[in-house]
Amino acid sequence: MSAEQQSGFTEIRRRGLMLVLSSPSGAGKTTISRMLRDREPDLQMSVSVTTRTKRPGEVEGIDYHFIPKIEFELRRNRKELLEWAKVFGHYYGTPRAPVDAALAEGRDILFDIDWQGTQQLKEHARQDLVAVFILPPSMLELERRLKSRAQDSAAEVARRMAKATDEMSHWAEYDYIIVNRDLASSLEQVHAILRAERLRRERQVGLNDFVKGLRAGL
Amino acid sequence: MSAEQQSGFTEIRRRGLMLVLSSPSGAGKTTISRMLRDREPDLQMSVSVTTRTKRPGEVEGIDYHFIPKIEFELRRNRKELLEWAKVFGHYYGTPRAPVDAALAEGRDILFDIDWQGTQQLKEHARQDLVAVFILPPSMLELERRLKSRAQDSAAEVARRMAKATDEMSHWAEYDYIIVNRDLASSLEQVHAILRAERLRRERQVGLNDFVKGLRAGL
């Protein structure tokens, strides 16, 4: 637990939270995540394990932990994954241990996962979860953003557009909705959500003793 | 409804919210309210009706609507008040009509009310309510702040200190808790709560049609 609100007589500590950002590819989620972590260096990114091959520029342990399928299945069967999914034939999952440690120590964790992962996280940890869905302003704009990624082929763009339509049907399962018209505003909005959620009564541990102290005249 | 998130094809509008700030006198609530309204000029203050006499510097229609006891009782009996309370022998209440109008038009309203008022508002409008409790860092600091108000006598300070102890016992009925150690941080925190709560899915009207439009390829 971090000491967010200290006092001479009683310490109020904070339980960490799990900030989930979901959106179709191209809606801006990855850029917003990066900018948010620049502002909040203590915000830890959850690093997923995956069985897909590394893309150019990706770094083991930063973007993903790249593991063989047999290891993935072993960890999944041992319940060491908080959530997992199969997307385009590859497995993706979230290791449980680093998340549990961070929450207990009052550190927040950022998740860049899809609606399937979010649903599974909800089952495990509803009270620690803050789920944000980012929508594109229009499909034309989404397509423009996907096409500007030099690395993706026309077939990949078409596949992502189709997947976007599916992904967006799950917006109503999220706590907060942001339409990403410009990055600066969207970043401010996600940041406000993070800062506000930290102040929720349930996340502040020791408030009861703090107020007892006040009421005793301290 | 205000047009917060506009688009060429579907408009997302927003339902207003009721932001309640409660705290013992001297914890900083009134100063934070004033600073927040400087930043958010569209944030409307709920003006209560009261049967107590005007204090030096108070303005009819700004600080309160000062009305006779018989009128208060009439309005209360006609259910024209969203909440009401008797404090130190005087009646205080919140007129219902301006609140209903503001929420429907997407304007937010700020309430500076005590725990009794908050409880009554919760019964009427739980989904529109965002309740924030502001705690002083210590009772010594609270007393110092109360004593620095030239207008209050020693007896008044003593009475407010006693009332603070009672008021603070209701902290757990609030959504968010802020310990006001310095005004600048507390203002940032309340502002983050307001901005985040505006993005809650339930407050954005028209999202369903907006996403339908996106999924249809717009």
Q: Considering the domain boundaries, does residue B214 fall inside one?
A: no
**pLDDT of the residue at B9:** 61
**pLDDT of the residue at A1:** 43
Q: Considering the domain boundaries, does residue B136 fall inside one?
A: yes
**pLDDT of the residue at B140:** 87
User: The CATH number of the domain where B178 resides is what?
Assistant: 3.40.50.300
Candidates B142, B179, B203, B208: best to mutate against A (most CBs of A within 10 A) is B179
Q: Considering the domain boundaries, does residue A127 fall inside one?
A: yes
Whether B7 sits inside 8 A of A193 (CB atoms) is: no
Which residues, in sequence order, are bridge partners of residue A170?
none
Q: Of how many residues is chain A composed? A: 218
Among partner residues B7, B169, B177, which is closest to A138 by beta-carbon distance? Answer: B7
Contact (Cβ atoms closer than 8 angstroms) between residue A118 and residue A5: no
Domain residues for the domain of B187 are 17-46+106-197
Smallest CA–CA distance from A133 into chain B, residue: B201
A127 touching B (Cβ < 8 Å): no
Q: How confident is the model at residue B176 (pLDDT cuts 50, 70, 90)?
A: very high
Handedness of CA A116, A117, A118, A119 (dihedral sign): positive
Q: Considering the domain boundaries, does residue B62 fall inside one?
A: no
**pLDDT of the residue at B3:** 44
pLDDT in tens, A132-180: 999 999 888 888 888 887 677 888 888 888 888 888 999 999 999 999 9
Residue B202 one-letter amino acid:
E
**pLDDT of the residue at A159:** 86
Q: Which of residues 130-189 of A touch B (CB under 8 A)?
A: 135-140, 165, 168-169, 171-172, 174-179, 181, 188-189
Q: Considering the domain boundaries, does residue B92 fall inside one?
A: no
Q: Considering the domain boundaries, does residue A24 fall inside one?
A: yes
Contact list, B192 vs chain A (CB under 8 Å) = 191-192, 195-196, 199
3-state secondary structure of B107: coil
Contact (Cβ atoms closer than 8 angstroms) between residue B199 and residue A189: yes
Q: Considering the domain boundaries, does residue B71 fall inside one?
A: no
Domain count, chain A: 1
Q: Is B201's pLDDT higher than 80? A: yes
The interface predicted TM-score (ipTM) is: 0.88
List chain A pLDDT tens, one digit each, 218 residues: 444 444 446 788 999 999 999 999 888 898 999 999 999 999 999 999 999 999 999 999 998 999 999 999 999 999 999 999 888 899 999 999 999 999 999 999 999 888 988 999 998 888 999 999 999 998 888 888 888 876 778 888 888 888 888 889 999 999 999 999 999 999 999 999 999 999 999 999 999 999 988 888 87
Whether A175 sits inside 8 A of B200 (CB atoms) is: yes
What does the alpha-carbon distance between residue B115 and residue B29 come to, in Å, rounded to a whole number? 13
B9 touching A (Cβ < 8 Å): yes
A and B: number of Cβ contacts within 8 A: 114
Q: Considering the domain boundaries, does residue B64 fall inside one?
A: no
